Amino acid sequence: MPLVQEKDRPTESSEPNIADGKKSSGPASMAPETEAGDKPFPFLGLLCYADALDWLLMVSGTMGSFIHGMGPSMSYYILGKSVDVIGKNIGNKEATVHELNKLIPYMWILAIVTLPGGMIEIACWMYTSQRQMARMRMSYLRSVLSQDIGAFDTDLTTANIIAGATNHMNVIQDAIGEKMGHFMSNFSTFVVAIIVAFACCWEVGMLSLLVVPMLLMVGATYAKMMIDMSLERISFVSEATTVVQQTLANIKTVFSFVGENSAIKSFHKCMYNQYRLSKKEAMAKGLGLGMLQIATFCSYSLVIWVGATAVTGGKAKAGETIAAVINVLSGAIYISNAAPDLQVFSQAKTAGKEIFKVIKRNPAISYESNGKILENIKGDIEMREVHFAYPSREDKPVLQGFSLAIHAGNIVALVGSSGCGKSTVISLVQRFYDPITGTVLIDNQNIKELDLKSLRRNIGSVSQEPSLFSGTIMDNLRIGKMDATDEEIIEAAKTANVHSFIYKLPNQYATEVGERGVQLSGGQKQRIAIARAILKDPPILLLDEATSALDSESEKIVQEALDRAMQGRTVILIAHRMSTIINADKIVLVENGRVAQSGTHEELLGKSAFYSSVCSMQNLEKDSGRRETRFTGQVKEENEEAAEYGTYNTPSFTSSEQKKKLDLTEQPKQAIRKRTSTFYRIFLGTFKLLPGKVLLGSTAAAISGISRPIFAFYIMTVAMAYLEPDTKRIVSKYSIILFLIGLLTFFSNIFQHYIYGLVGERAANNLREALFSVILRNEIGWFEQPKNSVGFLTSRIVGDTSMIKTIISDRMSLIVQCISSILIATGLSTVVNWRMGLVAWTLMPFHFIAGLVQVRSAKGFATDFSTSHQKLISLTSEAVSNIRTVASFVQEDEILRKADLSLQEPMRKSRMESIKYGAVQGTALFLWHTTHAIAMSFTIMLLDKDLATFKNCVRSYQAFAMTISSITELWSMIPMVLSAIAILDPALDILDRETQIVPDVPKVHSEERLAGDVEFQDVSFSYPSRPEVIILDGFNLAIEPGERVALVGSSGSGKSTVLALLLRFYDPCEGQVLVDGKDIRDYNLRYLRKHIGLVQQEPILFNMSIRENISYGNEDVLESEIIEAAMEANIHEFISGLSNGYDTVVGDKGSQLSGGQKQRIAIARTILKRPTILLLDEATSALDSESERVVMSSLGAKEWKNKGELSSKITSITIAHRISTVTGADVIVVMDKGQVVEMGSHASLVSASNGVYSKLYHLHSKGVKD
């Protein structure tokens, strides 16, 4: 016996599975243009990556949907025929039974036909969506990588691109996959229903011309209301993503400046904006679906009344009329079922507009440009009257008529103050930007006319801030030359003085460097970057402070390697250490974006007062050409034997002692509290959150659930009323009843969706904020684990938590509604005829199996997107974060190759799953129609035995059968909810994790300043990610309050680790770190860090204004205090010259500023903090000499002048390679292999003739010729 309404597939689905492996850009001509401002994005534009096979699949899927849709209409037609049999054979039981038995074979045929229809429908839609999304993802990533660097300085921030690659792609996948199939299925049912209605009774069929436009108008209005809100939501999601991404990417800076609360407040603001928007969204959804309900029930009332008129007028039989009526009404129902898909489509159009804005963006400089290829570049470089300003600050010229000619093979050094345009010259030579006016020529060819890939392959670059990629050391070195042999790579590593360090690692060249190279020290990263450039073997070499992160001995060796590498090449080098440039063929003084003076070292000493004063400050003699004196912890012979990356299997330990040492380094396993059921936590937690609203929303959802069984009962009552003499009177009464039901469900839908929408958003925001807060409580070692990459954690916080809203706002309310429908239908069915009600429940196993199959068919669309595409997300995030390195080494194609590989496995699985789930979908439809045939057979049997009337049988069965869609939804949604909860499990694991370093225990009872006494007692330490490598081994050091201490030693000797332990980024494996005589583990960590200031070698700025960056971590600070700190950091004058002054946004990672400008802002941030303990890790390496002199007058002071308060002493610990920052220290500590080997003042250490420090000092005092 057919259903009045059949909803064969679940309305909603979990997060879609997005996977493909085909590398295809898709025809550019088919992609929609998006430059038309606010012009709506066409939905068909989302299908622009479909090829011939995809169109064939979509056509086949549509045909499958049509066959699927034909099933319900044919069932209603057979039901109408059964009513005609009853009307024609009133009083003749035998004839009635005989005629009804003739209809049974048709019902079985219908079940068999829908089997292949369902298979084709699901398999085709599922597979084609996966294929198209793979191409869209690849095209998106390809477009991102082809953009000019200027785009990343403005609108293409890392967070926006990650949002596009995750959230936006997710929405589009949902729309063109599951939702498109769902919409086509419902729409096909509607079309077939109208055709059958016209065939049965054209008068009733004509009503579809009124009913359908009315419902479509309501649906269109509903969709229109959601478009603007979808745009706004995407904006808020991107904003939240930015906050999370930049916080996690710079977590050490956040921790050291106690910026957790600032980040949480910013995130809370984003969540509040989303909550305000959700109020409008929830009301719009409630009104939209409520209007669809009342419009649908008004249609019911009208259609059954017109049907009664047709029957009484003799224009149609009762059975044909009821078949037409039910088909028109079912068509209206199915088109209303498709209404929620319209919201998804509108969201997809909004997301598509953002995606294609990037895909169709025409870069000013594209790496795909096909220009001239110079076979043999000699290396002549010329810049003629170049004027340039960065795209983000077009009102602030950087180069103003810059002209410079460099002959092939010459070495030219650029000298000048920070921000004068030195690094800009290097960027223009690599064609990261194009000049506003003027030309840049290589070998007398305008570089605009050259093939960009060929140009960059012939230019090697080493920047001040080296960028490494996650992967092995070998992978990072091979970036320099992708087809290099292992022997060539090892030779380059030896040349850069990095081979010995690598060789002593457990996995040697196969060692993972971690995201952004976090497993390596700054000097180690720099040497790998240099080795990478040496391996490239380019005719043009650009060195921007290439050796700033190296210790003295490493720099000497690497500089010798660079000297060899520079032979026969054109070299442009930038350095603030004059010792590295004095032997250049030409030294160019850059001032205000122009060449002020040029000449050799000796010439400039004679004619440039500025150059001469800089050399004097750095103790360079006119006639010596000596290097700047720099220090390390050992002489060359000792350095060659040092374990630069800690001590691995140090032979000085016995085997038992070594085992004991290694055992001490083992960190406790991650503690996960035993938690209650996730399901229980979510639902009980939601109820506790807003109990009144949850009860009210659930009551409204329960009322909404009455519509299906009550309608089914009355529609079959109307069918039998068409056989009565006074048809019009009876049907008029039922028309009024149906209208009142519609009015009731209108209000219940408003309350249901509005309340659940708010509760869902509130719960999701609470989880996001809690998760973000808990993540910021974890120790640094946790962030360094490969599984906790920035992109992955960002996706967990912003993306996965949206499942909470889906579960509550969409799933929970519908579950309540479905349960209500089932209970009401069961009671009604039993009251009308308990035998038929029992038969209906006896068929429940079929319904259950069919529903279970539906759930299995939907599983392919409910795969965890973040997990299945973690590699792609991380790859995209890393590529964009290091876009300059990617461009410089022409790695775009390699990244696309890796992206393509990351999609191969998901695509393979998708191919198999589409076939499997297509088969189970077809089986589900077969089972559904089988239950109808069995129900009709039972009805005939009851009639034959006089146990029931046909009227009560069909009313009893239909009252229950109408809820088959509710049962399907219920069985579909509960597993979907569990699947969605499984997606949330990793996020809840993070939420439940107990951090190994608790930041806010004990509570702070006093805000008194620390005295500044620091002591390390027998400290042994290994990094959690490398427990077998011993970094500090019995380290002892005592520092008095106000004492200035300098740490000296080779790269990897443990200097930066000392600072990390003092900030309590990690806890020692053995020993204690004391501050003011108290173990730092007994301090409130945030209180402790407020009294410690850190200036790192690589300055970290946030994508905020200069004011916000300087005041970061210092709440309620005065404007005058910010300006004072900027003055002390020698940056105020530069900031004042900007058009927006302190309100100037520095860009992603401070990209709008030079290295020196970023460093001075970072120093101003620390000065504003007025810390008791000051940690300087190569703090002035990026500064010119004048800036260094001014800054060090503040950082090198003995005490702070505290804002009207009493002065406080400064305990400073400095890591530096420059003599000027070492000799003035009260105590110099020489470190080797994680231990203190010498300690004392500069004078006392120099006087010890056999000491390591003394040997090095005298060695360098004699001068080392460049």
Q: How is 1062-1089 classified by DSSP, letter by letter?
A: HTTSS--SEEEEEETTEEGGGS-HHHHH
CA distance 721 to 90: 14
Q: What is the mean pLDDT of residues 999-1026?
A: 83
CA distance 531 to 550: 13
CA distance 246 to 263: 10
Contact 980, 862 (CB under 8 A): yes
In terms of pLDDT, which residue wins out, 519 or 65? 65
Tell me what pLDDT residue 1073 has: 92
Tell me what pLDDT residue 619 has: 54
Does residue 802 lie in a domain region?
yes
pLDDT tens digits, 663-674: 333 333 333 333
CB atoms within 10 A of CB 1062: 21
Could you tell me which of 1108, 1017, 1016 has the C-alpha nearest to residue 1062?
A: 1016
Does residue 815 lie in a domain region?
yes
pLDDT tens digits, 986-1008: 777 787 788 888 888 788 766 67
Instruction: Please check the confidence at residue 630 and state whether its pLDDT lies above 50.
Output: no
Instruction: Please check the confidence at residue 13 and state whether its pLDDT lies above 60.
Output: no
* Pick from 331-345, 847-861, 1011-1025, 1195-1209: least confident: 847-861
* Pick from 16-30, 893-907, 1022-1036, 1097-1111: least confident: 16-30
Instruction: Please check the confidence at residue 1118 and state whether its pLDDT lies above 80.
Output: yes
SS3 state at 573? strand
Does residue 1253 lie in a domain region?
yes
Tell me what pLDDT residue 1015 has: 92
Instruction: Please check the confidence at residue 1157 and state whether its pLDDT lies above 60.
Output: yes
CATH code at position 557: 3.40.50.300
Instruction: Please check the confidence at residue 241 and state whether its pLDDT lies above 70.
Output: yes
Instruction: Please check the confidence at residue 14 and state whether its pLDDT lies above 70.
Output: no
Task: State the DSSP code for 517.
Answer: G
Residue 637 banded pLDDT, cuts 50, 70, 90: very low
Tell me what pLDDT residue 659 has: 34
Residue 1071 banded pLDDT, cuts 50, 70, 90: very high
Tell me what pLDDT residue 1125 has: 87
Could you tell me which of 1158, 1257, 1218 has the C-alpha nearest to residue 575?
A: 1218
**Strand ranges in 600-635 using DSSP code E only, listed in sequence order:** none
In terms of pLDDT, which residue wins out, 1146 or 611? 1146
Same domain, 325 and 391: no
Tell me what pLDDT residue 28 has: 41
Tell me what pLDDT residue 1266 has: 39
The secondary element (H helix, E strand) that includes residue 386 is: strand 381-388
In terms of pLDDT, which residue wins out, 676 or 198? 198
Residue appearing with tokens 């910026």: 259
The mean pLDDT of the chain is: 78
Does residue 352 lie in a domain region?
yes
User: Tokens standing for 406?
Assistant: 């460099």
Question: Number of structural domains, the chain?
Answer: 3
Residue 873 banded pLDDT, cuts 50, 70, 90: confident
Tell me what pLDDT residue 976 has: 65
Of 581, 600, 619, the residue at which a domain comes to its end is 600
3-state secondary structure 707-742: HHHHHHHHHHHHHHHCCCCCHHHHHHHHHHHHHHHH
Task: State the DSSP code for 1193.
Answer: H
User: Tokens standing for 364?
Assistant: 């000013």
Could you tell me which of 140, 134, 142 has the C-alpha nearest to residue 173?
A: 134
Same domain, 207 and 354: yes
pLDDT tens digits, 729-740: 888 888 888 889
Same domain, 946 and 1082: no
Instruction: Please check the confidence at residue 678 and state whether its pLDDT lies above 60.
Output: no
Residue 36 banded pLDDT, cuts 50, 70, 90: very low
DSSP string, 130-157: HHHHHHHHHHHHHHHHHS-HHHHHTT--
CA distance 444 to 432: 19
Contact 141, 165 (CB under 8 A): yes
pLDDT tens digits, 146-155: 888 888 877 7
Does residue 1003 lie in a domain region?
no
Tell me what pLDDT residue 554 has: 61
pLDDT tens digits, 409-459: 888 988 887 778 888 888 888 888 889 888 999 988 888 888 888 888 888
Helix axes 892-944, 844-859, angle to 10 degrees: 170
CA distances 407 to 413, 444, 450, 574, Å, are: 13, 11, 19, 17
In terms of pLDDT, which residue wins out, 314 or 1213? 1213
Same domain, 346 and 386: no
Q: What are phi and psi of 900, to 5 degrees?
A: -60, -40
* Pick from 191-205, 768-782, 844-858: least confident: 844-858
Of 574, 600, 626, the residue at which a domain comes to its end is 600
Could you tell me which of 3, 179, 166, 180 has the C-alpha nearest to residue 75?
A: 3
Calculate ∠ Cα 767-771-777, nearest 5°: 150
Q: What is the mean pLDDT of residues 640-651?
A: 36
CATH code at position 711: 1.20.1560.10
Sheet containing strand 437-442, strands side by side:
399-406, 381-388, 437-442, 445-446
* Pick from 261-265, 404-408, 463-467, 1163-1167: least confident: 463-467
Residue 1193 banded pLDDT, cuts 50, 70, 90: low
Same domain, 348 and 416: no
Cα 1236 to the center of its chain, rounded Å: 44
Same domain, 890 and 963: yes
Q: What is the mean pLDDT of residues 327-355?
A: 78
Calculate ∠ Cα 252-253-254, nearest 5°: 90
CA distance 1069 to 1073: 11
Instruction: Please check the confidence at residue 7 and state whether its pLDDT lies above 50.
Output: no
* Pick from 518-532, 639-653, 670-684, 958-972: least confident: 639-653
Amino acid letter, 1235: Q
Tell me what pLDDT residue 738 has: 86
CA distances 676 to 58, 396, 507, 989, Å, are: 44, 58, 41, 12
Helix axes 727-775, 964-992, angle to 10 degrees: 10
Same domain, 360 and 232: yes
Instruction: Please check the confidence at residue 1114 and state whether its pLDDT lies above 60.
Output: yes
CB atoms within 10 A of CB 94: 9
Residue 847 banded pLDDT, cuts 50, 70, 90: low
Q: What is the mean pLDDT of residues 1110-1135?
A: 85
Of 575, 600, 625, the residue at which a domain comes to its end is 600
pLDDT tens digits, 745-782: 999 989 988 888 888 888 888 888 888 888 888 888 88
Does residue 916 lie in a domain region?
yes
Same domain, 106 and 248: yes
Which residues, including other chains, have CB under 8 Å from residue 591's CB and lie 6 or more apart? 416, 417, 420
CA distance 383 to 94: 103
The secondary element (H helix, E strand) that includes residue 993 is: strand 993-994
Does residue 610 lie in a domain region?
no
Determine what percent of the chain is predicted with pLDDT higher than 90: 2
User: Tokens standing for 144?
Assistant: 């991102």
Q: What is the mean pLDDT of residues 70-91?
A: 84
Helix axes 813-832, 727-775, angle to 10 degrees: 150
Tell me what pLDDT residue 818 has: 84
Residue 1016 banded pLDDT, cuts 50, 70, 90: very high
pLDDT tens digits, 544-592: 877 665 666 666 666 776 777 777 788 898 876 677 777 788 888 888 8
Calculate ∠ Cα 562-520-1172, nearest 5°: 105
Which residues, including other chains, have CB under 8 Å from residue 65's CB and lie 6 or more apart? 117, 121, 181, 184, 185, 187, 188
Same domain, 160 and 194: yes
Amino acid letter, 938: F
Instruction: Please check the confidence at residue 1202 and state whether its pLDDT lies above 60.
Output: no
Which residues, including other chains, have CB under 8 Å from residue 1255's CB and lie 6 or more apart? 635
Same domain, 987 and 847: yes
CA distance 509 to 655: 26
Q: What are phi and psi of 623, to 5 degrees?
A: -105, 5
CA distance 167 to 866: 10
CA distance 267 to 768: 9
pLDDT tens digits, 111-148: 898 888 888 888 888 888 888 888 888 888 888 888 88
Does residue 980 lie in a domain region?
yes
Which residues, including other chains, have CB under 8 Å from residue 25's CB and lie 6 or more apart? 135, 138, 139, 142
Domain residue limits at 212 = 46-364+673-994
pLDDT tens digits, 854-868: 555 544 444 555 556
Sheet containing strand 540-544, strands side by side:
459-462, 540-544, 570-574, 411-415, 586-591, 594-599
User: Tokens standing for 1256?
Assistant: 């090095």
pLDDT tens digits, 786-799: 788 888 888 888 87
Tell me what pLDDT residue 167 has: 78
Tell me the sheet residues that pair with 1039: 1014
CA distance 454 to 1005: 64
Q: Give the highest mean pLDDT range of 269-273, 692-696, 923-927.
A: 269-273
Same domain, 572 and 720: no
In terms of pLDDT, which residue wins out, 37 or 528? 528
Q: What is the mean pLDDT of residues 676-699?
A: 68
Same domain, 445 and 320: no
Residue appearing with tokens 């995201």: 515
